[in-house]
Chain A
Amino acid sequence: MNVTEVKPSLPPGVRLGRVSFVWRPWLLSVTLLLAAAAFLVFCVSIAVGDFPIGLPQVIATIFGRGEQVDRFIIMDLRMPRALAGLVVGVALGVSGAITQSIARNPLASPDVLGITSGASAVAVFLVTVSGGTAAAIVNSVGLSAAALAGGLGTGLLVYFLAWRRGVDGFRLILIGISVSAVMEALTTWLLVTADIRDVARAQAWLVGSLEDRSWSEVWTALWCGLVLLLVVSCVAFQFRPMHFGDEVAAGLGVRYTRVRAVLLLCAVLLAGVAVSAAGPVPFVALVAPQVAMRLARCPTPPMVASGLVGALLLIGSDLVARTALPVSLPVGVVTAAIGGPFLVYLLVRANLR
């Protein structure tokens, strides 16, 4: 179900000693433009608020040359939220790009694969079951880390359940949907049995929000995200030939099972990092790679561009969520409002082909 066709003309290759890559001016310029746009939205997001600050001051402050007052508002109050948006957006975008490439299906995303619902189930469990052990876990490792573990556990469960002499994208998605249904049933049950105040807290968390991020949470997400992205960029080179099928990849010397497992693990962890920082923000992981693919005119989702579109999408949605409407909404509501129609578009398009 690849949506765009492979262009028959071959772009020129570049070889620098042992490193070789393909020179794609269009992809490069699109990526650079996206990076610039993401930085701009990031700055605008910091500038807009109850106490508006001009864009030049924001940029000056970010590079360490701002005034004392601006520095306090920007670095202490607004930066964590914007930075969390950036990290979560990039993580979701890259995670979606990986899962969509592996499943060879534009509709496979961490949401569909059950990763986010697993993380949510664990988080809701810890929020609602206010017993001794649960409270102890929340205090010692933090809700975010527990959610991360939940996402990872669910991801591994889906992978092993879908394993049958190799992992096939079709089976991966269907198993994901069914595991996701179990997790949602458990979440629902937890919500039914819980105290109403806990429910409101859990429910707010369940829709995905960037409100009240602290520096410590952002740092954790940032470091985890950076390490994972590093691993992805090391392995991603091996991943390219796999688009031609397992046999061709094997012929080119790729250990495809291992590469796929490592990448999938990274995708799961990235999604887990995102969920633990902002809750299960829906649709970003699905939409970002597809938009990036169309912008970059690539046959498969390009990783860097997907991450940038994810950041753009998330920070932009957060901006809309807190400024455009009379009541401030969680960012997840806005991404769902964008993502729903986009999914419909993808389905109709894929079907009409």
Chain B
Amino acid sequence: MGTTAVVERPATRGSAPARRRRIAGLGILVALLVIAAVLSLAVGARALTPAEVWHGLFAGPESDRRLTEIRLIVETVRVPRTVLGIVAGIALGVGGALIQGFTRNPIADTGLLGVNTGASFAVVSVIAVFGFSDPFQYVWFAFLGAAVAGVVVFGLASIGRGAGNPLTLALAGQGITVFLMAMTTAVALSNQASLNALRFWNAGSLAGVGFDVIWPVTAFIGAGLVLALATLPSLNLLNLGDDVARGLGVNIALSRTVGITAITLLAGAATAACGPIAFLGLMVAHVARYLTGPDYRWLVPYAGLLGAVVLLLCDIVGRLVVRPGELDAGVLVALLGAPFFAVLVWRGKFRSA
């Protein structure tokens, strides 16, 4: 291979203390996720105490007007938002870790692959053509657009010798992004409804999506996760190089196909539901690798949990910083992720082939 730029740490698989430490780490991440979820339920334009959140979640119908109002806020606004944050965060985190594994490319990120703009373009186009107004109607087209763009960029970047070069994928993604962005703008400029839908959808937000969208999206993400877990053992072997993996009995083509399907399902569904959220997968995959080492069977679950925690926290911070307005989670993730990426570049974590 010779083009892998991930700095591999020696695998410490098998030693019992390391194993115990990793399980403890998973426990800590789950605890963090629970804390983030509770915060996400409590924080907002109307701050709630934990007792009120508890009440809103579990108490029966009330005659008290104040408590009914709390129930309403928790049920219709905070719960969907939190569930979507967890689901999309896990999807983007796992997607990011997988894509870095399958491309052996530390710069790979589902958001940099043109998946976002593919979805934007599809959304804007169907609104302009069919006049859709309900997210439930256009979410499917967003999914389709994301999948097509992702496959095209991925395909372009994996042709021939440049496949392992980190730059190729980043540039292919950037190029397709600029292209689709201009096309999107062209459509949006000629159609007021598209323009309005685009600017809200485009920021990457967890707000305003109901369970009618969240459940189907979760189903896709669930399917993606199952496929992802199935590829993990062969992914470890693939990272030893194609020849070694083949020698050890891995069906490379099958494993790659399954992997790309999983990535597309995860990133496409998450993007369809929340809009474009770039850098999240990239960021958490690196942190996960730092915490667990290169074993993907540990790395991927860590990345998924971290993704959910970071996305929820960004969403919460976004509700607080520009009150009474809100800063969308996608914008905050980018503001956090881009400097992170720059630091990785600066420290020489990526090298050209």
Assuming A112-B171, A203-B188, is B157 touching A185 (CB within 8 A)? no
Chain A, range 145-188, C-beta contacts under 8 Å to B:
161-162, 164, 170-171, 173-175, 177-182, 184-186, 188
Assuming A174-B350, A181-B334, A189-B328, is B171 touching A347 (CB within 8 A)? yes
Query: Separation in Å of the A297 CB from the closest CB of chain B?
Result: 24
Is A139 an interface residue when CB atoms closer than 8 A count as contact?
Answer: no
Assuming A184-B334, A347-B162, is B183 touching A327 (CB within 8 A)? no
Q: Are A175 and B342 in contact (CB under 8 A)?
A: yes
Is A230 an interface residue when CB atoms closer than 8 A count as contact?
Answer: no
Q: Are A207 and B161 in contact (CB under 8 A)?
A: no
Distance in angstroms between the alpha carbons of A119 and B49 in the assembled complex: 44
Of B11-19, B54-62, B197-205, the stretch lying at the interface with chain A is B197-205
Query: Separation in Å of the B9 CB from the closest CB of chain A?
Result: 22
Query: Separation in Å of the B144 CB from the closest CB of chain A?
Result: 19
Residues of B near A196 (CB, < 8 A) are 192, 195-196
Report how many residues on chain A are interfacial, defined by Cβ distance under 8 Å. 55
Q: Are A181 and B278 in contact (CB under 8 A)?
A: yes
For residue B337, which residue of chain A has the nearest CB? Answer: A181
Q: Are A161 and B175 in contact (CB under 8 A)?
A: no
Residues of B near A332 (CB, < 8 A) are 182, 185
Query: Separation in Å of the B189 CB from the closest CB of chain A?
Result: 6
Query: Separation in Å of the B102 CB from the closest CB of chain A?
Result: 17
Contact of A343 among B161, B167, B179 (CB under 8 A): B179
Distance in angstroms between the alpha carbons of A8 and B327 in the assembled complex: 58
Q: Are A204 and B346 in contact (CB under 8 A)?
A: no
Report how many residues on chain B are interfacial, defined by Cβ distance under 8 Å. 55
Residues of B near A333 (CB, < 8 A) are 182-183, 185-186
For residue A206, which residue of chain B has the nearest CB? Answer: B185
Q: Are A178 and B331 in contact (CB under 8 A)?
A: no
Is A216 an interface residue when CB atoms closer than 8 A count as contact?
Answer: no
Chain B, range 96-141, C-beta contacts under 8 Å to A:
107, 112
Is A269 an interface residue when CB atoms closer than 8 A count as contact?
Answer: no
Q: Are B174 and A177 in contact (CB under 8 A)?
A: yes
Contact of A351 among B107, B159, B181, B328 (CB under 8 A): B159
For residue B202, which residue of chain A has the nearest CB? Answer: A188
Q: Which of B156, B160, B171: most chain A CB closer than 10 A?
A: B171
Is A199 an interface residue when CB atoms closer than 8 A count as contact?
Answer: yes
Is A57 an interface residue when CB atoms closer than 8 A count as contact?
Answer: no
Distance in angstroms between the alpha carbons of A208 and B156 in the assembled complex: 27
Residues of A near B72 (CB, < 8 A) are none
Residues of B near A307 (CB, < 8 A) are none
Kindly supply a per-residue 1/0 record for chain A positions 192-226, scoring 1 wherever the CB is within 8 Å of any chain B CB and 0 otherwise.
11001001100110111000000000000000000
Is B220 an interface residue when CB atoms closer than 8 A count as contact?
Answer: no
Q: Which of A192, A344, A348: most chain B CB closer than 10 A?
A: A192
Chain B, range 333-353, C-beta contacts under 8 Å to A:
334-335, 337-339, 341-342, 345-346, 350-352
Residues of B near A348 (CB, < 8 A) are 156, 159-160
Is B145 an interface residue when CB atoms closer than 8 A count as contact?
Answer: no
Distance in angstroms between the alpha carbons of A182 and B334 in the assembled complex: 6
Q: Which of B161, B185, B328, B330: most chain A CB closer than 10 A?
A: B185
Tally of A-B Cβ pairs under 8 angstroms: 167
Contact of A352 among B159, B189, B331, B350 (CB under 8 A): B159
Q: Are A185 and B335 in contact (CB under 8 A)?
A: yes
Q: Which of B179, B182, B204: most chain A CB closer than 10 A?
A: B182
Assuming A177-B174, A340-B176, is B168 touching A351 (CB within 8 A)? yes
Residues of A near B112 (CB, < 8 A) are 177
Query: Separation in Å of the A148 CB from the closest CB of chain B?
Result: 21
Is B279 an interface residue when CB atoms closer than 8 A count as contact?
Answer: yes
Is A329 an interface residue when CB atoms closer than 8 A count as contact?
Answer: yes
Q: Are A182 and B346 in contact (CB under 8 A)?
A: no
Is A262 an interface residue when CB atoms closer than 8 A count as contact?
Answer: no
For residue A333, which residue of chain B has the nearest CB? Answer: B186
For residue A188, which residue of chain B has the nearest CB? Answer: B203
Chain A, range 303-353, C-beta contacts under 8 Å to B:
327, 329-330, 332-333, 335-337, 339-340, 343-344, 347-348, 350-353
Q: Are A111 and B178 in contact (CB under 8 A)?
A: yes
Q: Which of A162, A188, A208, A330: most chain B CB closer than 10 A?
A: A188
Residues of B near A191 (CB, < 8 A) are 199, 202-203
Q: Which of B159, B179, B195: most chain A CB closer than 10 A?
A: B179
Query: Separation in Å of the B162 CB from the closest CB of chain A?
Result: 4
Assuming A339-B179, A347-B162, is B335 touching A182 (CB within 8 A)? yes
Distance in angstroms between the alpha carbons of A174 and B121 in the assembled complex: 25
Assuming A173-B167, A336-B178, A348-B156, is B331 touching A188 (CB within 8 A)? yes
Residues of A near B160 (CB, < 8 A) are 348, 351-353
Kindly supply a per-residue 1/0 record for chain A positions 261-282, scoring 1 wherever the CB is within 8 Å of any chain B CB and 0 otherwise.
0000000000000000000001
Query: Separation in Å of the A211 CB from the closest CB of chain B?
Result: 12
Query: Separation in Å of the A224 CB from the closest CB of chain B?
Result: 25
Residues of A near B189 (CB, < 8 A) are 200, 203-204, 207, 330
Residues of B near A352 (CB, < 8 A) are 159-161
Q: Are B156 and A199 in contact (CB under 8 A)?
A: no
Distance in angstroms between the alpha carbons of A170 and B279 in the assembled complex: 19
Residues of A near B188 (CB, < 8 A) are 203
Residues of B near A188 (CB, < 8 A) are 199, 202-204, 328, 330-331
Residues of A near B63 (CB, < 8 A) are none
For residue A341, which residue of chain B has the nearest CB? Answer: B179
Chain A, range 1-31, C-beta contacts under 8 Å to B:
1
A-B CB contact pairs (8 Å), 13 listed: A164-B346, A181-B334, A185-B338, A188-B202, A199-B195, A333-B183, A336-B178, A336-B182, A340-B176, A340-B178, A347-B159, A347-B168, A347-B171
A interface, CB within 8 angstroms of B:
1, 105, 107, 111-112, 161-162, 164, 170-171, 173-175, 177-182, 184-186, 188-189, 191-193, 196, 199-200, 203-204, 206-208, 282-283, 327, 329-330, 332-333, 335-337, 339-340, 343-344, 347-348, 350-353
B interface, CB within 8 angstroms of A:
107, 112, 156-157, 159-163, 167-168, 170-172, 174-176, 178-183, 185-186, 188-190, 192, 195-196, 199-200, 202-204, 278-279, 325, 327-328, 330-331, 334-335, 337-339, 341-342, 345-346, 350-352
List the 4 closest A-B pairs by CB distance, nearest first. A340-B179, A336-B182, A351-B162, A185-B334
